[in-house]
Amino acid sequence: MYLLAIESSCDETAVAILGPAPRLLASVVASQVPVHQKFGGVVPEIASRQHLLTLNPLLEQALQQAQLNWEHLGAVAVTRGPGLVGSLLVGISAAKAIAWALNIPLIGVNHLAGHIYANFLAHPGLELPALCLVVSGGHTDLIYLPEHGRFERLGRTRDDAAGEAFDKVARALGLGYPGGPLVDRLAREGNPEAISLPRAFLEEGSLDFSFSGLKSAVLNYLNRARQRGEEVNKADLAAAFQEAVIDVLVEKTLQAAGRTGVERILLAGGVAANSRLRQQLEERTQQAGLKLYYPPLDLCTDNAAMIGAAGWYLWQAGYRDDLYLNAEANLPLV
Ligand code: KG4
Ligand code: ZN
């Protein structure tokens, strides 16, 4: 009853092994950040080549960490999308080879379902229904989960994802890549009220998001200051930007909770690592009598443990893929 999980959708190569419950027995992540850093973002072709180099040693490392052999594995789960198609194919090809060689089930997992299921790994007693705010580099969604394996989308971003906005603003501020954690850190030294930035709440009652106007407002602020030869307080600007993103995320999450009547709120995706977002949601959910769950930092950003967590439920529910499983760059969750 051991499940091997592989994640290679973007710029982290990751392998995990789960045992019954499900319980995490091994989790290894090889980050490609140093490789892409000099380009200021992920270069897809380099990412797939890097996955090819790192995946086999990571598989051996995970087995060693879990103190298991190949023969112990009962199923293999792999991210099948969304993500970079070349990167996804490396993980999928490896998973197919393993499934075929060991004659064990192959289970394709949606990367976003993985982010959500990191919460079930971190909080074993967690029950449904729940509402999940999924905030990653490519997605910003409000998802209602009535039961395991069912996802209903209540809101989504109409333009930039929250993480994407963090990354673009970080680049404009000259902070580097990946931008989210750098903005998070710098914002702690700034005053969010020093600079006034717009918050897009959209039409009355809408649970959708929009962050491109806010991103443009930051870029305009920087350009105006540059033209006037004025010094910009980067910490204040980072704090004001972050606060504007978080205000909207928190407000709409609470609105969605009120509408669905859920008692549990989950936070998922790379931006769930943001310290201010966690703090603000913690405060507001407590005031509203709701229970907030989020994964530990290492399960927020891309990893294979979360793919294993989602894969575990699919495995137990009898879900199987065949060897024609293909990568889907734009695979929807709902
Ligand atoms: O989920 P993830 O690792 O990859 C995707 O599936 O997209 O999310 C990556 C995103 C990046 O945009 C990164 O800047 C952002 O998560 N991120 C953060 C923080 N840590 C990672 N954003 C804000 N604050 C953070 N502490
Ligand atoms: Zn992700």
Report the amino acid identity of residue 53: L
The ligand whose atoms approach the alpha carbon of 180 most closely is 1
pLDDT at 300: 97
As given in the structure block, the two tokens for residue 270 are 């790379």
Q: pLDDT of 257-309, one tens digit each?
A: 999 999 999 999 999 999 999 999 999 999 999 999 999 999 999 999 999 99
Cα–Cα dist 273/118, whole Å: 12
| Torsion sign across C-alpha atoms 78, 81, 82, 85 | positive
Residue 147's pLDDT is: 96
**DSSP code string of 92-155:** HHHHHHHHHHHT--EEEEEHHHHHHHHHHHH-TT--SSEEEEEE-SS-EEEEEESSTT--EEEE
Place of tokens 């990568």: 327
pLDDT in tens, 30-72: 999 999 988 988 999 999 999 999 999 999 999 999 999 999 9
In this prediction, residues 181-203 reach a mean pLDDT of 97
Residue 82: pLDDT band (50, 70, 90) is very high
Q: What is the pTM of this model?
A: 0.97
DSSP 321: B
The confidence score (pLDDT) of residue 255 equals 98
- C-alpha 162 – ligand 1 centre gap (Å): 8
Helix/strand/coil for 2: strand
Answer whether 178 contacts ligand 1 (Cβ < 6 A). yes
Whether ligand 1 lies within 6 angstroms of the CB of 83 is answered as no
H or E segment at 76? strand 73-81
- 139, 166, 277, 281, best to mutate for ligand 1 pocket (most atoms within 8 Å of CB): 166
pLDDT tier, 178 (very low <50, low <70, confident <90, very high otherwise): confident
Cβ count within 10 A of residue 285: 21
Give the pLDDT mean for 205-214: 97
| Ligand 1 and 301: CB distance under 6 A | yes
Q: Are strands 140-145 and 73-81 parallel, antiparallel or unpaired?
A: unpaired
How much is the mean pLDDT over the chain? 97
**What pLDDT was estimated at residue 4?**
99
Average pLDDT over residues 317-330: 98
* Farthest CA pair distance, the chain: 67
Query: Which pLDDT score, from 0 to 100, does residue 41 have?
Result: 87
| pLDDT the model gives residue 303 | 98
pLDDT higher than 90, residue 177 = no
Task: Give yes or no for residue 238 having a pLDDT over 90.
Answer: yes
Q: Which amino acid is at 48?
A: S
Backbone angles phi, psi at 107, to 5 degrees: -130, 110
Q: Which of 190, 170, 193 is nearest to 270 (CA)?
A: 170
Q: What is the pLDDT of residue 40?
A: 85
Say yes or no: CB of residue 271 within 6 Å of ligand 1: yes
Q: What is the mean pLDDT of residues 240-244?
A: 98
**Are the C-beta atoms of residues 81 and 331 closer than 8 Å to each other?**
yes
Distance CA(72)–CA(62), nearest Å, equals 13
Q: Which helix (H) or strand (E) holds 193?
A: none
What does the block give as tokens for 263? 């008692």
Do the Cβ atoms of 222 and 172 come closer than 8 Å?
A: yes
Predicted pLDDT at 251? 98
Total length of the chain: 334
pLDDT digits (tens, 9 = 90+) for 93-146: 999 999 999 999 999 999 999 999 999 999 999 999 999 999 999 999 999 999
pLDDT at 158: 98
pLDDT higher than threshold 90 for residue 229 = yes
Dist. CA 178 → ligand 2 center (Å): 13
Q: Residue 306's pLDDT is what?
A: 98
What pLDDT sits at residue 123? Answer: 97
Of 168, 177, 301, which is best to mutate to test ligand 1, by the most ligand atoms within 8 angstroms of its C-beta? 301
Share of the chain above pLDDT 70, in %: 100
